[in-house]
């Protein structure tokens, strides 16, 4: 039976995995796993938390709402919350929705508006005096991200409204990438060696949440507007709309792009028929949809029905059943991951499915293929799980021809030929050769990843060229590269070669936690790496730790501990770490305080707005000195660090009289703390002022080169 300790370790692992996938999905717009796989992780975590409620942590992903704004953009508080919708998954659920509405309206029969549910990015657009002044993403519904410059590049978002529009107007709409533009973009990305976007939604979100608006401008985005969130100052004689249908017409007349496929239905049966029709005709539409939104037409009735805290009672989202397609398996290939795991992949005859052309599907592992008795040449039914990566859901054995041949999982690595071994109790077969080129490639990519050593510019295309040219054989070789070596690579000019060498060099100084994560030890994710770095403070100490010493670290369980011991017991590991040290990778945290101890111990910081250093770095520097970072401002907060475009946290700090530091003052404070002068009471800044008295004014500006060298 499962012990509480095992459950706690697994819960910690799951939380960390989910966080990492959230980051890839919401921030990078580049998910690594399917929605179904993500849901499975969430379900497993929820199940553990249900069995052991005492294990629920306040920061568990089960406790939060999705879509938190990214720190890269300034936060914007929406004038009215941007609500979400309840789902109806069947015709019956639609009729129940109608019955609920009628009950609340005391028998009054509502008319409905039916709108295709665009799979894009929800935005709020503000107009003042007819001019577009601000655009933001939905974020968590209360606070979104300011993406005004990016939205200005979208042709169908009018910069100025037509006469007749109210003086102040806030509307809601959906930014999307038409299917044709999505496919063109992905073709171009594949040709450039960049990873394609999984679906038009991710492509739209990735394009809007760009730091450089000129990138957004090249992305052929469109925006359908579907709601008036606030309107004041209608011109003389103009009537505010009384229904959703009139609102759509008004929005169109003011110059917005309004979906021509929206419809008005007099009864719920008409609504049901319209939903069925869209489900059937979904593939014909030039934009991707994941359902239909059904709204009560009369605004007076909407008001009467009201909203719960997260969704209106007057609308519902009819979600389509997962779209399926039938196609043939042309081949089954096997890819090799970072840990040597062999993953079979079906190569399909290209087929259109849920807004994109699909030519491959994941097959998970050999058991999955055996259970389905899937053979090369078979006809299969595929489905997009949560509309991301397609999966094979059924095999049409009746359509099998004599040529169909069973698949045999190789017992040798398809890339290097070494033995591929399946350990007892595991579903996965692994290539045992740690020098396998496929593993090396994935290890380098993991090493360079944002949460690891964060080497910008070292993506798949560059890594492939480096490997092909024989310039690197493992991660340690990266640190021997010179700009001259790189400049000889295809598509790499002298300037980019120099930049890349500089980025690689900078990574030598990453904090220990990132180094531990970057090593790619099985089961050691970002969170475990942080705990281990804080506890051991030095890679050599970690390498010598026993299972008992490791499990003594809170949150580190047996699985993680054993995996670490196994990793460091391998002779290659010692040789590899020696080479890293030789290259100058920092393996100890000089002067790092054990968790909570240090010159900033007991001090709580809150970060807001955009800093020139990544937020993660700011957090790490505070933690390295023993301080703590919190997400919200309270009386117990010691400092609020305000970057550019700070949000409501700054106002809150001022209300509570919490000292506010700008970036220069913050860096100066870190420097002082590190130099041994603690951040004691007297040197803090008063509310409003932004530099500690006595801090050298130039410390912030002059810091760029300095702090890297000796932190
Ligand atoms: S109405 C309170 N209308 O679907 C009104 N939403 O789950 C709520 N969406 O976040 C939204 N097309 O991003 C509405 N015609 C449409 C829509 C639409 C797409 C998205 C929107 C929202 C999500 C609701």
> How do the domains of the chain map onto residue ranges?
4-56, 87-319, 324-421, 455-509, 512-583, 592-711
Q: How far is the CA of 124 from the centre of ligand 1 (A)?
A: 12
Average pLDDT of the chain to the nearest whole number: 85
Q: Does ligand 1 have an atom closer than 6 angstroms to the CB of 293?
A: yes
Task: Tell me if residue 469 falls in helix, strand or coil.
Answer: coil
Kindly give the number of the ligand 1 atom that is closest to the alpha carbon of 138.
10
CATH of domain 455-509: 1.10.150.20
Residue 569 CB neighbours (<10 A): 10
Q: Does ligand 1 have an atom closer than 6 angstroms to the CB of 273?
A: no
Residue 520 near residue 499, CB atoms below 8 Å: no
Structure token digits, residue 105: 């309206």
Q: Does ligand 1 have an atom closer than 6 angstroms to the CB of 454?
A: no
Structure token digits, residue 68: 């938190």
Q: Does ligand 1 have an atom closer than 6 angstroms to the CB of 588?
A: no
- pLDDT greater at residue 213 or residue 332: 332
CATH of domain 4-56: 1.10.287.610
Residue 80 near residue 229, CB atoms below 8 Å: yes
Among 261, 215, 263, 255, CA closest to 118: 261
Residue 639 near residue 658, CB atoms below 8 Å: yes
Q: Does ligand 1 have an atom closer than 6 angstroms to the CB of 314?
A: no
DSSP string, 398-433: GG--TT-EE----SB-TTT--BEEE-TT-S-EEE--
Strands (DSSP E) found in 251-370: 263-265, 289-296, 315-319, 324-336, 342-353, 356-362
Among 610, 628, 611, CA closest to 619: 628
Q: Does ligand 1 have an atom closer than 6 angstroms to the CB of 307?
A: no
Q: How far is the CA of 281 from the centre of ligand 1 (A)?
A: 20
* Segment 236-267, tens digit of pLDDT: 989 999 999 999 999 999 999 999 999 999 99
Residue 3 CB neighbours (<10 A): 10
DSSP string, 417-485: --BEEE-TT-S-EEE--TT-HHHHHHHHHHHHSTTTT--TT--HHHHHHHHHTTS-SSGGGGGG--HHH
Cα–Cα distance, 26 to 146 (Å, whole number): 16
Helix axes 35-51, 4-22, angle to 10 degrees: 150
For residue 690, the model assigns a pLDDT of 32
Sign of the CA dihedral running 202, 207, 208, 210 = positive
For residue 579, the model assigns a pLDDT of 94
Q: How confident is the model at residue 622 (pLDDT cuts 50, 70, 90)?
A: confident
Q: Does ligand 1 have an atom closer than 6 angstroms to the CB of 258?
A: no
User: At 204, which helix (H) or strand (E)?
Assistant: helix 200-208
Q: How far is the CA of 261 from the centre of ligand 1 (A)?
A: 15
Cα–Cα distance, 711 to 708 (Å, whole number): 6
Q: Does ligand 1 have an atom closer than 6 angstroms to the CB of 122?
A: yes
Residue 407 near residue 419, CB atoms below 8 Å: no
- CATH class of the region 87-319: alpha beta
Those residues with Cβ within 8 angstroms of residue 87's Cβ, 6 or more apart along the chain or in another chain: 93, 291, 316, 317, 318, 319
What residue owns the CA closest to ligand 1's atom 16?
A: 117
Q: Does ligand 1 have an atom closer than 6 angstroms to the CB of 84?
A: yes
* DSSP state letter for 307: B
* DSSP state letter for 31: -
Q: Does ligand 1 have an atom closer than 6 angstroms to the CB of 115?
A: yes
Cα–Cα distance, 705 to 710 (Å, whole number): 10
Structure token digits, residue 62: 């089960």
Cα–Cα distance, 322 to 282 (Å, whole number): 12
* Mean pLDDT (whole number) for 530-538: 90
Q: Does ligand 1 have an atom closer than 6 angstroms to the CB of 121?
A: no
**What percent of the chain clears pLDDT 70, i.e. is strictly above it?**
88
Kindly indicate whether the domain formed by 324-421 is annotated with CATH number 2.40.50.140. Answer: yes
For residue 697, the model assigns a pLDDT of 29
Residue 373 near residue 394, CB atoms below 8 Å: no
Q: How far is CA 410 from CA 395, 441, 465, in A?
A: 22, 21, 27
> φ, ψ for residue 313 (rounded to 5)?
-85, -5
Q: Does ligand 1 have an atom closer than 6 angstroms to the CB of 81?
A: no
Exposed e or buried b per residue across 399-409, where buried means at least 16 C-beta atoms within 10 angstroms of its C-beta = eeeeebeebeb
* Segment 265-319, tens digit of pLDDT: 999 999 999 999 998 898 889 998 989 999 999 999 999 999 987 899 999 999 8
What residue owns the CA closest to ligand 1's atom 4?
A: 117
* Mutation to probe ligand 1, out of 26, 82, 118, 252 (largest number of atoms < 8 A from CB): 118
* Mutation to probe ligand 1, out of 114, 122, 258, 297 (largest number of atoms < 8 A from CB): 122
Among 430, 438, 505, 445, CA closest to 475: 445
Q: How far is the CA of 121 from the centre of ligand 1 (A)?
A: 9
Structure token digits, residue 101: 């509405």
What residue owns the CA closest to ligand 1's atom 8?
A: 84
* Segment 358-373, tens digit of pLDDT: 888 888 888 989 999 9
Task: For the chain, give the longest Cα–Cα distance.
Answer: 85
What residue owns the CA closest to ligand 1's atom 17?
A: 117
Those residues with Cβ within 8 angstroms of residue 313's Cβ, 6 or more apart along the chain or in another chain: 100, 101, 104, 305, 306, 307
Structure token digits, residue 390: 């397609």
Those residues with Cβ within 8 angstroms of residue 474's Cβ, 6 or more apart along the chain or in another chain: 435, 440, 443, 444, 576, 579
Angle value at C-alpha 543, between 620 and 447, nearest 5 degrees: 55
Cα–Cα distance, 420 to 568 (Å, whole number): 21
- Work out whether strand 315-319 and strand 87-88 pair parallel, antiparallel, or are unpaired: parallel
Superfamily assignment of 592-711 in CATH? Answer: BRCT domain (3.40.50.10190)
Q: How far is CA 505 from CA 66, 182, 456, 709, in A?
A: 36, 36, 11, 11
User: At 605, which helix (H) or strand (E)?
Assistant: strand 604-608
Q: How far is the CA of 339 from the centre of ligand 1 (A)?
A: 41
First to last CA, the chain: 47
Structure token digits, residue 624: 């390295």
* Mutation to probe ligand 1, out of 120, 140, 170, 174 (largest number of atoms < 8 A from CB): 174
Kindly give the number of the ligand 1 atom that is closest to the alpha carbon of 312.
2
Q: How far is the CA of 262 from the centre of ligand 1 (A)?
A: 13
User: In sequence order, what are the beta bridge partners of 327?
Assistant: 380
Residue 633 near residue 607, CB atoms below 8 Å: no
Q: How confident is the model at residue 680 (pLDDT cuts 50, 70, 90)?
A: very low
* Mutation to probe ligand 1, out of 200, 293, 302, 317 (largest number of atoms < 8 A from CB): 293
Q: How confident is the model at residue 59 (pLDDT cuts 50, 70, 90)?
A: low
Cα–Cα distance, 539 to 518 (Å, whole number): 12
Q: Could you check whether 455-509 and 512-583 share the same CATH topology?
A: yes
Q: How far is the CA of 144 from the centre of ligand 1 (A)?
A: 15
Q: How far is the CA of 117 from the centre of ligand 1 (A)?
A: 6
For residue 694, the model assigns a pLDDT of 30
Q: Does ligand 1 have an atom closer than 6 angstroms to the CB of 117?
A: yes
What count of residues does the chain have? Answer: 711
Residue 701 has pLDDT above 90, yes or no: no
pTM score > 0.75 for this model? no
**Active-site positions?**
117
> φ, ψ for residue 561 (rounded to 5)?
-60, -50
- pLDDT greater at residue 63 or residue 487: 487
| Right CATH for 512-583 from 3.50.50.60, 1.20.1740.10, 3.40.50.2020, 1.10.150.20 | 1.10.150.20
Structure token digits, residue 83: 């609500």
* Mean pLDDT (whole number) for 634-649: 86
Which range of 59-63, 70-74, 543-547, 623-627 scores highest in mean pLDDT? It is: 543-547
Q: How far is the CA of 173 from the centre of ligand 1 (A)?
A: 8
* Segment 452-465, tens digit of pLDDT: 999 988 988 899 99
């Amino acid at each position: 039976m499962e012990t509480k300790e095992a459950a706690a370790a697994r819960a910690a692992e799951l939380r960390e995995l989910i966080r990492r996938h959230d980051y890839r999905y919401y921030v990078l717009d580049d998910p690594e796993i399917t929605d179904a796989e993500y849901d499975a992780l969430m379900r497993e975590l929820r199940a553990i938390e249900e069995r052991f409620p005492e294990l629920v942590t306040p920061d568990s992903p089960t406790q939060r709402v999705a879509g938190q704004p990214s720190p890269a953009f300034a936060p914007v508080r929406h004038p009215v919350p941007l609500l979400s919708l309840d789902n109806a998954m069947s015709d019956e659920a639609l009729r129940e929705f109608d019955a609920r509405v009628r009950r609340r309206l005391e028998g009054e029969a509502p008319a409905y508006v039916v709108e295709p549910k665009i799979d894009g990015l929800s935005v709020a657009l503000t107009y003042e005096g007819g001019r577009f002044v601000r655009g933001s993403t939905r974020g968590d519904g209360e606070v979104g991200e300011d993406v005004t410059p990016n939205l200005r590049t979208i042709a169908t978002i009018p910069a100025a409204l037509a006469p007749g529009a109210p003086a102040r107007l806030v509307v809601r709409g959906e930014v999307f990438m038409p299917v044709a533009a999505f496919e063109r973009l992905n073709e171009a990305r594949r040709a450039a060696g960049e990873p394609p976007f999984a679906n038009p939604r991710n492509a739209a979100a990735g394009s809007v949440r760009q730091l450089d608006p000129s990138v957004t401008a090249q992305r052929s985005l469109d925006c359908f507007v579907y709601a008036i969130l606030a309107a004041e100052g209608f011109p003389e004689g103009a009537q505010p709309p009384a229904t959703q249908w009139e609102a759509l017409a008004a929005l169109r007349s003011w110059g917005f792009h309004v979906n021509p496929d929206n419809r008005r239905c007099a009864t719920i049966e008409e609504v049901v028929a319209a939903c069925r029709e869209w489900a059937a005709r979904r593939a014909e539409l030039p934009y991707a949809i994941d359902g239909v939104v059904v709204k009560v037409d009369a605004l007076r009735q909407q008001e009467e029905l009201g909203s719960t805290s997260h969704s209106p009672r007057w609308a519902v989202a009819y979600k389509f059943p997962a779209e399926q397609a039938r196609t043939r398996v042309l081949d089954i290939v096997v890819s090799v991951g970072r840990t040597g795991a062999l993953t079979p992949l079906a190569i399909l005859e290209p087929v259109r499915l849920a807004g994109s052309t699909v030519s491959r599907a994941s097959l998970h592992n050999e058991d999955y293929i055996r259970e389905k008795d899937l053979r090369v040449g078979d006809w299969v039914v595929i489905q997009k799980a949560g509309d991301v990566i397609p999966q094979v859901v059924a095999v049409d054995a009746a359509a099998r021809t004599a040529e169909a041949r069973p698949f045999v999982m190789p017992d040798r690595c398809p890339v290097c030929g070494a033995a591929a071994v399946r350990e007892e109790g595991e579903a996965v077969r692994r290539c045992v050769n740690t020098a396998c080129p496929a593993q090396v490639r994935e290890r380098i990519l993991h090493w360079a990843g944002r949460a690891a050593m964060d080497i910008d510019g070292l993506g798949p295309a560059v890594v492939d060229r480096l490997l092909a040219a024989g310039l690197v054989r493992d991660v340690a070789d990266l640190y021997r590269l010179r700009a001259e070596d790189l400049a000889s690579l295809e598509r790499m000019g002298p300037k980019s070669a120099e930049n890349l060498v500089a980025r690689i060099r900078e990574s030598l100084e990453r904090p220990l936690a990132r180094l531990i994560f970057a090593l790619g030890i099985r089961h050691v994710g970002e969170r475990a790496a942080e705990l281990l770095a804080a506890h051991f403070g030095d890679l050599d100490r970690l390498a010598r730790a026993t299972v008992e010493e490791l499990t003594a670290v809170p949150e580190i369980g047996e699985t993680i501990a054993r995996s670490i011991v196994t990793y460091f017991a391998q002779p290659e590991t010692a040789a590899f770490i020696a080479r890293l040290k030789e290259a100058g990778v920092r393996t100890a945290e000089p002067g790092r305080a054990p968790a909570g101890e240090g010159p900033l111990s007991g001090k709580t910081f809150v970060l807001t707005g955009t800093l020139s250093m990544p937020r993660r770095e700011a957090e790490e520097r505070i933690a390295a000195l023993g301080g703590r970072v919190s997400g919200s401002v309270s009386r117990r907060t010691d400092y609020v660090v305000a970057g550019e475009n700070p949000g409501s946290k700054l106002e809150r700090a001022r209300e509570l009289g919490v000292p506010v530091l700008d970036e220069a003052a913050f860096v100066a404070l870190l420097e002082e703390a590190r130099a041994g002068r603690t951040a004691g009471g007297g040197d803090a800044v008063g509310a409003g002022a932004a530099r500690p008295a006595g801090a050298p004014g130039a410390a912030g500006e002059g810091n760029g080169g300095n702090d890297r060298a000796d932190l």
